[in-house]
Amino acid sequence: MTRFEAENHLSSSQNVGLFLVRRSESLLDSYVLSVLTEESVMHFVISRNGNSKFCIKGGPSFITIQELVEHYKNNALLCGIKLKRPSEKKKPVLRHLSYNTVGKWERPKEEFTLVKRIGTGHYGEVWKAIWNNSVPVAIKMLKADDTDSSNFLKEAQIMKCFQHRNLITLYAVCTRTQPLFIVIELMKHGDLLNYLRKSNGSFTIVQLIDMAVQIAAGMSYLESNCYVHLDLAARNILVGDNILCKISDFGLTKLLKGASATEISDGNFPVRWTAPEVAIKNQVSMKSDVWSFGVVLYEIITFGKIPYAGISNKMVLVELAKGYRMQCPKECPQPIYNIMKDCWNETPSQRPLFSTLKLQLEDFITNNYSPLY
């Protein structure tokens, strides 16, 4: 766990004295004690002295970290606070329906009980369901009158390759009888767009930027594996407990391995989110999604406002070609707007990598909302 993740994890609680111990990101063979105080999260390096004992600078040394922790439950740290209880570990991401289904993607439909329809997608309906009366899931169901199932199944094939905390998990498929099912994890709060709009502006800037960090992390994983999503938008981000964000809807996703840019024929893209070179020339590169991420960042900061409001799709492309870019939203910090503009660079190669965007967003929170300890 990084310092950034530790601060977010502890700050979600109101329990002063809540703590965790994590490995240091920068110091070899060292740990960090992170503890929630009344004002912030503070971090103390746990290092080894000459006798290979664990200690915090200026304090006594111990044979084990457990002994160190027990000491500071009874004796105050330098900040004057005592440790109270350890934070619960994050729940691991459920990668499979059960141990017995690992690698067995095709499942009988009889194992799934449909509960209620929770939405509609590009290919059909989305249902909440239960697998074997035990695991809640979501099912994407192909329209009954849709005879072209190739794209629907292609999405499932692509998802089999993905394994990342911020990408939606594929559990199973049901392809032996109509209608076809793609079974994915169920996300409690639905899509990010509606989640933002229903929040009535209640999220803090730190929470909003953390959503963007998570999306950048998931996109960085795709980027490192040479996949372009081509439909990145707040409506295609799903939200679970503790504002966990996961990228979904991979129906347009392409593998660009071995090619820096390529032309594609099936150019049916959402204009307001799509990079101009894609929407106009059908020319896709690894930087195409970065433009879309800038628009998603705009959606997050504005709590779900429509990009380019009041401008038709056709005119959006005309104005972008003239150099027009959306203005800085009200209440948007200038460094965040600068990141948006970097994403909207006319030249794809000049747009930042997702790995860079993730670090920039994390640094924004650390430098502006976290004390230096």
Domain boundary among 159, 185, 211: 185
Taking alpha carbons only, the member of 129, 153, 150, 154 closest to residue 139 is 129
Task: Render pLDDT for 144-166 as a digit per residue (tens, 0 to 9).
Answer: 666 567 778 888 889 988 989 99
Decide if 303 contacts 196 (C-beta within 8 A): yes
Q: Strand 135-142 and strand 124-131: pairing?
A: antiparallel
pLDDT band, residue 190 (cuts 50/70/90)? very high
Distances (CA, A) of 222 to 4, 162, 234: 22, 8, 17
Q: State whether 152 and 65 are in the same domain.
A: no
- 329, with CB counted inside 10 A (0-12, 13-18, 19+), is middle
Q: State whether 119 and 61 are in the same domain.
A: no
Q: How many distinct structural domains can be found in the chain?
A: 3
Domain harbouring 340, CATH code: 1.10.510.10
Spell out the residues 6+ positions from residue 80 whose beta carbon is closer than 8 angstroms to its own.
Answer: none
Q: State whether 140 and 232 are in the same domain.
A: no
The answer on pLDDT for 216 being more than 50 is yes
Measured CA to CA, the distance from residue 333 to residue 335 in angstroms comes to 6
The answer on pLDDT for 136 being more than 80 is yes
Rounded to a whole number, what is the distance in angstroms from the first to the last CA of the chain? 17
Domain harbouring 159, CATH code: 3.30.200.20
Task: Render pLDDT for 263-298 as a digit per residue (tens, 0 to 9).
Answer: 665 557 899 999 999 999 889 999 999 999 999 999
Query: Is residue 93 situated within a structural domain?
Result: no
Q: Tokens standing for 80? A: 């004057």
Domain boundary among 136, 154, 185: 185
Measured N-to-C along each axis, helices 334-343 and 354-369 cross at an angle, to the nearest 10 degrees, of 180
| Residue 46 identity (one-letter amino acid) | I
pLDDT band, residue 365 (cuts 50/70/90)? confident
Query: Is residue 79 situated within a structural domain?
Result: no
Per-residue pLDDT, 112: 95
Query: Is residue 166 situated within a structural domain?
Result: yes
The catalytically annotated residue of 210, 231, 249, 289 is 231
Q: State whether 131 and 198 are in the same domain.
A: no
Domain harbouring 12, CATH code: 3.30.505.10
Taking alpha carbons only, the member of 163, 23, 11 closest to residue 93 is 163
Q: State whether 118 and 265 are in the same domain.
A: no
Q: Where are the beta strands (DSSP E) in the chain?
A: 19-23, 31-36, 41-48, 54-56, 61-62, 112-120, 124-131, 135-142, 170-174, 181-185, 227-228, 237-239, 245-247, 254-255, 261-263, 283-285
Query: Is residue 81 situated within a structural domain?
Result: no
Active site residue 231: yes
Per-residue pLDDT, 102: 62
Q: State whether 289 and 206 are in the same domain.
A: yes
The answer on pLDDT for 373 being more than 80 is no
The whole model's pTM is what? 0.78
pLDDT band, residue 171 (cuts 50/70/90)? very high
pLDDT band, residue 51 (cuts 50/70/90)? confident
Q: What is the mean pLDDT of the chain?
A: 89
